[in-house]
Structure 1
Amino acid sequence: MFTTAAGWQTLGLLMLSNLFMTFAWYGHLKDLAAKPWWIAALVSWGIALFEYLLQVPANRIGYGAGFSLAQLKITQEVVTLAVFVPFSMLYMGQGFRSDFLWAGLCLMGAVYFIFRGA
């Protein structure tokens, strides 16, 4: 599936959209910690708009290129972890946890089962 231009375009858009979503969901914990929750929510919604502007085309391109709904979802989950771990360590200053590795291995199992035979 990732051997076609559409497959790589889907993956690239998913990675960019997830970067925006990770900042929308978690960036306010660092950047807006002293602000009321509703300001953080409004800022997060503003950031999330860009996530949707990338996520929707990514899913449409991927689905049109032959990805199943389950394959798109599992791909999104792998991308989520691949974006979240560096974000949590580099931006939020969290330490590496071996649980990141175990979660990644579990996701690789999910990838195997969803993509086998495709």
Structure 2
Amino acid sequence: MKRYLLPALLLIVSNIFMIIAWYGHLKFSEWKWFSKLGMFSIIVISWGLAFFEYCFQVPANKMGFSENGGPYSLWQLKVMQEVITLVVFAVFSVIAFKGETLRWNHFIGGVFLVLAVYFIFKK
């Protein structure tokens, strides 16, 4: 079970860092000291956060990939990562950005992503 679960858990942690690096600065701009930073500084901070994303993402893909003894094909890893990204993003956007709401079309898009996972994992 560990060999199936660990890559997914690492991808979840990786995506938390990724979402914060990509979209966190939009919320952090509400902080007085952060709002004074220029674009280059924001890029450097986001890049620093992305470092931690890679610290989890690279091992997840390395140990999860079938040619390295893992349980997942390259396609399965990619689709799993995309679904995790969207779930983490949905949670982040609802918690951090109160004005953003999940609508019915977002749920339908999520259903299609789950179907994508089903078809990619189907033998």
Q: TM-score, normalised by structure 1?
A: 0.91
Paired residue type of 2:56: L
User: Following TM superposition, by how much is the alpha carbon of 1:112 offset from its aligned partner in structure 2, in angstroms?
Assistant: 1.1
**Partner of residue 109, structure 1:** 115
Give the whole-Å Cα distance in 2 for the aligned partners of 1:92 and 1:54.
25
1:31 aligns with 2:28: yes
**Partner of residue 60, structure 1:** 62
Q: Is the 8 A contact 1:78 1:107 kept in 2?
A: yes
The RMSD of aligned alpha carbons is 1.2
Count of aligned pairs: 114
**Partner of residue 92, structure 2:** 87
Kindly, what percent of the aligned residue pairs are identical? 44
**Partner of residue 9, structure 2:** 12
User: Following TM superposition, by how much is the alpha carbon of 1:66 offset from its aligned partner in structure 2, in angstroms?
Assistant: 2.7
Give the whole-Å Cα distance in 2 for the aligned partners of 1:55 and 1:66.
16
User: Following TM superposition, by how much is the alpha carbon of 1:109 offset from its aligned partner in structure 2, in angstroms?
Assistant: 1.2
1:99 aligns with 2:96: no
Q: TM-score, normalised by structure 2?
A: 0.87
**Partner of residue 22, structure 1:** 19
Runs of 4+ in 1 over 3 A off after TM superposition: none
Q: Is the 8 A contact 1:11 1:58 kept in 2?
A: yes
1:93-114: CA deviation from partner (whole Å, max 9, x where unpaired): 2222223211211101111110
Paired residue type of 2:11: L
The structure having more radius of gyration, on CA atoms, is 2
Which moves more between the two structures, 28-37 or 87-96?
Answer: 28-37
- Work out which of the residue numbers 74, 78, 87 in structure 2 matches 1:73: 78
Paired residue type of 2:23: Y
